[in-house]
């Protein structure tokens, strides 16, 4: 009797363990199926991204630097330096496009808002210098950096219209408040789209700027 009871105990223990293993495996399988992205998830991701990009294209209305009516040499130029390496403040990639002033004069070229929107951030940043950030109706963020000065005393929440003067191109930044002259006069343009709950993603503004080149406003400066 004693040995039969022992065999029964052993069988029970084995059965219990087998049940535990099978249960665990089924649960893990479910977890895998639930959390593994399949092709359609990936395509949904791209589609959401594509719709976001489309929202940027739709709201872009003018190039951020106007054409000068009075000075034929007051031109600008830019290249596709997207993700080129920057070294100030640690190695990092360049999340924007630099529009270079062909006349290296700080405070000379107006900087215009490419879109309608609302001022979200304004003031000094160590890397960006005097900067202004505009949030558009589609939820995208347009970042203009290294300004010489502002077009008016912008406050967070101010309404901005496409083509309005945000400020003047300069060479501020790369140091404590008021630092200038660390690089040639240029405008850094960054565009960020919302991604997921609490993230923003920088997108390459280069081809958008190429598109806007044919949509320049004319100012007298």
Residue numbers at the binding site for its own copies (CB under 8 A): 2-3, 6-7, 9-10, 13-14, 17-18, 20-21, 24-25, 28, 31-32, 35-37, 42-43, 45-46, 49-50, 54, 57, 80, 82, 201, 203-204, 206-207, 210-211, 214
Residue 50 Cβ vs its own copies, minimum distance, rounded to whole Å:
6
Residue 49 Cβ vs its own copies, minimum distance, rounded to whole Å:
6
Residue 214 Cβ vs its own copies, minimum distance, rounded to whole Å:
4
Alpha helix stretches (DSSP H) within the chain: 2-35, 39-59, 206-212
Tell me which H or E stretch contains 96: none
Cα–Cα nearest to 138, from 38, 11, 51: 51
Cα gap 129→113, rounded to integer Å? 18
Residues 40/45/51/53 CA torsion (nearest 10 deg): -140
| Neighbouring residues of 213: CB distance < 8 A, sequence distance ≥ 6 | 63
- C-beta of 142 vs 168, nearer to its own copies: 142
- C-beta of 101 vs 209, nearer to its own copies: 209
- C-beta of 55 vs 151, nearer to its own copies: 55
Residue 81 Cβ vs its own copies, minimum distance, rounded to whole Å:
12
């Amino acid at each position: 009797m004693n040995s039969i009871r022992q065999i029964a105990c052993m069988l029970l223990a084995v059965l219990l363990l087998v049940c535990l293993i099978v249960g665990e495996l089924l649960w893990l399988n479910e977890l895998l199926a639930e959390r593994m992205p399949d092709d359609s998830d990936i395509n949904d991701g791209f589609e959401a991204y594509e719709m976001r990009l489309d929202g940027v294209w739709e709201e872009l209305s003018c190039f951020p630097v106007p054409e000068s009516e009075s000075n034929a040499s007051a031109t600008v130029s830019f290249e596709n330096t997207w993700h080129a390496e920057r070294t100030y403040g640690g190695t990092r990639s360049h999340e924007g496009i630099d529009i270079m002033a062909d006349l290296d004069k700080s405070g000379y070229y107006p900087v215009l808002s490419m879109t309608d929107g609302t001022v979200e951030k304004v003031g000094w940043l160590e890397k960006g210098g005097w900067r202004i950030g505009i949030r558009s109706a589609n939820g995208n963020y347009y970042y203009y950096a290294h300004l010489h000065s502002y077009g008016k005393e912008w406050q967070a929440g101010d309404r901005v219209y496409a083509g309005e003067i945000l400020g003047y191109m300069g060479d501020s930044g790369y140091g404590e408040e008021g630092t200038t002259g660390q690089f040639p006069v240029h405008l850094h343009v960054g565009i960020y789209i919302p991604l997921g709950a609490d993230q923003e993603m920088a997108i390459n503004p280069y081809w958008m700027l190429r598109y806007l080149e044919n949509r320049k406003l004319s100012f007298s400066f």
